[in-house]
Amino acid sequence: MDANWGLRFAREALHEHVLTPDAMELLGRASAASVHRGSVIALAGGLGAGKTLWTKGLVAALGSPAEVTSPTFALVHEYPGGSMPVFHLDFYRLDSAAELIALGWDEYLEADGVIIAEWADKFPELLPPDATWRIFTIEADGSRTVHAPAA
């Protein structure tokens, strides 16, 4: 791996060009420094864009030994054992905000952990105003771009 760990940072803040899967995981690890109990991280981007790999890095950096996998079919995975619990949700298969609420969304928001919501752009109205957004894009060359819109 190259000296910058496979990451290329644009001059613009909050815009990362990621060259490898390992680098995506490393970016998630680096992001863990900015989360706290009650953080909600909203992830958006197409299938295979790196959302789950990024989450794997963040969960590992928080000290959880859990194996991180996509919650597409389970809808929610909970990762205990680290410095704080992580609740990893996937909105992809949900058809309505009512389904998310029935899944216990409000309880997760009140829990003393970190929420990571993949496909969060399906129900942005249910996210708290201070949610941290990350937009994942697959580039023509197969690399990924992760963008954090200005707050």
The predicted pLDDT at position 149 comes to 81
Q: Which two tokens stand for residue 7?
A: 């990451």
The CATH number of the domain holding residue 109 is: 3.40.50.300
pLDDT of residue 10: 36
> Which residues have a Cβ under 8 Å from the Cβ of 84 and sit 6 or more positions away?
35, 36, 37, 62, 112, 113, 114
Q: Is residue 123 included in any domain, yes or no?
A: yes
How confident is the model at residue 151, as a pLDDT?
Answer: 59
Q: What is the pLDDT of residue 71?
A: 84
Cα 7 from Cα 83, distance rounded (Å): 26
The residue segments making up the domain with residue 107 are 7-147
Examine residue 2 and state whether it is found in any structural domain, yes or no: no
Residue 22: CB atoms within 10 Å:
14
Residue 74 has what pLDDT? 86
Residue 143, pLDDT score: 95
Number of domain units in the chain: 1
In a domain, 102, yes or no: yes
134 located within any domain: yes
In a domain, 1, yes or no: no
In a domain, 48, yes or no: yes
Nearest to 27 by CA among 36, 15, 39: 15
Instruction: Answer whether residue 55 is part of any domain.
Output: yes
State whether residue 76 is helix, strand or coil: strand
pLDDT of residue 5: 40
The segments of the chain whose pLDDT lies below 70 read 1-13, 150-151
54 part of a folded domain: yes
